[in-house]
Chain A
Amino acid sequence: MRFDSKDVWHYKMPTVTTDPLVLSSVIAELALRQLPCGGWSALASSTQPAIEPTCYATMALGSVPVGDIERAHDFLLRTQNPDGSWPVVLGDDQGGTYVTSLAVLALRDLLPAIPARLRAIHWLLHCVGKESNWIWKWKFRTADRHVRFDPEKYGWPWFPDTISWVVPTAFSILALNQTPCSCDGLEGITLRVDRGIQMLFDRACPGGGWNAGNGVVYECPMAPHIDDTAIALLALRERDQHPIVQTAVQYLEQAASTLAAPWSLSWASLALAAYRRPIRPLAGSRPALSDFSNTQDTATLAVGCLALDPTRALSTFGVTP
Chain B
Amino acid sequence: MSVTRRELIIGSAALAAGSVVTTPFFLPKFHSDHRLKRSRVAVLNAHQYSQDLDQILAAALRQFPINVKGKTVVLKPNLVDYIPGNAINTHPLLVLAAAESFRRMGAKSLLVAEGPGHQRDTQLVLSQTGYEQSLREERIRFVDLNRDELIRTPLCASYTGMKDLWLPRTVLEADFLVSMPKIKAHHWSGVTLSMKNMFGIVPGSRYGWPKNILHWKGIQETILDLCATVPIHFVIADGIVAMEGNGPLNGTARNLGKIVLADDPVAADATCARLMGFLPDRVSHIHEGSKFLGTASPARIEQLGETVASPAKPFGVVSEFRYLQAL
Is A118 positioned at the interface, with any CB of B under 8 Å from its CB?
A: no
Note all chain B residues with C-beta closer than 8 A to A41.
Answer: 149
* A162 pairs with B212, CB closer than 8 A: yes
* A157 pairs with B212, CB closer than 8 A: yes
* B208 pairs with A46, CB closer than 8 A: no
Note all chain B residues with C-beta closer than 8 A to A261.
Answer: 121, 123-124, 127
CA distance A120 to B124 in the complex (A): 32
Interface string of B184-214 (1 = CB under 8 A from A): 0001000000000000000001111110110
* A158 pairs with B123, CB closer than 8 A: no
Is B150 positioned at the interface, with any CB of A under 8 Å from its CB?
A: yes
* Given A157-B212, A163-B212, A261-B127: A52 in contact with B205 (beta carbons within 8 A): yes
Is A211 positioned at the interface, with any CB of B under 8 Å from its CB?
A: yes
* Given A158-B212, A218-B187: A92 in contact with B152 (beta carbons within 8 A): yes
Name A218's contact: one of B166, B209, B246 (CB within 8 Å). Answer: B246
CA distance A41 to B209 in the complex (A): 20
Q: Which residue of chain A has the shortest Cβ distance to B188 in the bound complex? A: A146
Interface string of B139-178 (1 = CB under 8 A from A): 0000010011110100000000000001000000000000
Residues 147 to 206 of chain A near chain B (Cβ within 8 Å): 157-159, 161-163, 165, 167-168
Is A66 positioned at the interface, with any CB of B under 8 Å from its CB?
A: no
CA distance A259 to B250 in the complex (A): 23
* A211 pairs with B147, CB closer than 8 A: no
* B150 pairs with A263, CB closer than 8 A: no
How far is the CB of A104 from the nearest CB of chain B, in Å? 18
Name A263's contact: one of B124, B206, B250, B318 (CB within 8 Å). Answer: B124
* B209 pairs with A158, CB closer than 8 A: yes
* B206 pairs with A211, CB closer than 8 A: no
Name B144's contact: one of A43, A162, A217, A259 (CB within 8 Å). Answer: A43
Number of A interface residues, CB 8 Å? 45
Is B216 positioned at the interface, with any CB of A under 8 Å from its CB?
A: yes
Q: Which residue of chain A has the shortest Cβ distance to B142 in the bound complex? A: A296
* B123 pairs with A262, CB closer than 8 A: yes
CB contacts between A and B, total, < 8 Å: 100
Note all chain B residues with C-beta closer than 8 A to A300.
Answer: 123
Name B207's contact: one of A89, A159, A167 (CB within 8 Å). Answer: A159
Residues 78 to 118 of chain A near chain B (Cβ within 8 Å): 88-89, 91-92, 96
Is B286 positioned at the interface, with any CB of A under 8 Å from its CB?
A: no
CA distance A88 to B213 in the complex (A): 15
Is B16 positioned at the interface, with any CB of A under 8 Å from its CB?
A: no
Note all chain B residues with C-beta closer than 8 A to A226.
Answer: 121, 124
* A157 pairs with B208, CB closer than 8 A: yes
How far is the CB of B229 from the nearest CB of chain A, in Å? 18
How far is the CB of B202 from the nearest CB of chain A, in Å? 12
Name B210's contact: one of A50, A212, A262, A263 (CB within 8 Å). Answer: A212
CA distance A264 to B207 in the complex (A): 20
Q: Pick the most buried of A46, A130, A218, A227: most chain B CB atoms within 10 A of its CB.
A: A218
Name B150's contact: one of A88, A158, A297 (CB within 8 Å). Answer: A88
CA distance A130 to B213 in the complex (A): 11
* B250 pairs with A162, CB closer than 8 A: no
How far is the CB of A267 from the nearest CB of chain B, in Å? 9
How far is the CB of A200 from the nearest CB of chain B, in Å? 16
Name B246's contact: one of A89, A220, A260 (CB within 8 Å). Answer: A220
Is B35 positioned at the interface, with any CB of A under 8 Å from its CB?
A: no
CA distance A161 to B215 in the complex (A): 11
* B206 pairs with A161, CB closer than 8 A: no
Q: Could you list 7 A-B pairs, sorted by A, with CB under 8 Å?
A: A48-B149, A158-B208, A158-B212, A167-B209, A217-B187, A259-B124, A264-B124
- Interfacial residues, chain A to chain B (CB-CB below 8 A): 41-43, 46, 48, 50, 52, 88-89, 91-92, 96, 130, 146, 157-159, 161-163, 165, 167-168, 211-212, 217-218, 220, 222-223, 225-228, 259-264, 295-297, 299-300
Extra A-B contacts (7), CB below 8 Å, given A211-B118, A259-B124, A297-B144:
A92-B206, A146-B187, A157-B212, A218-B318, A225-B121, A261-B127, A296-B144
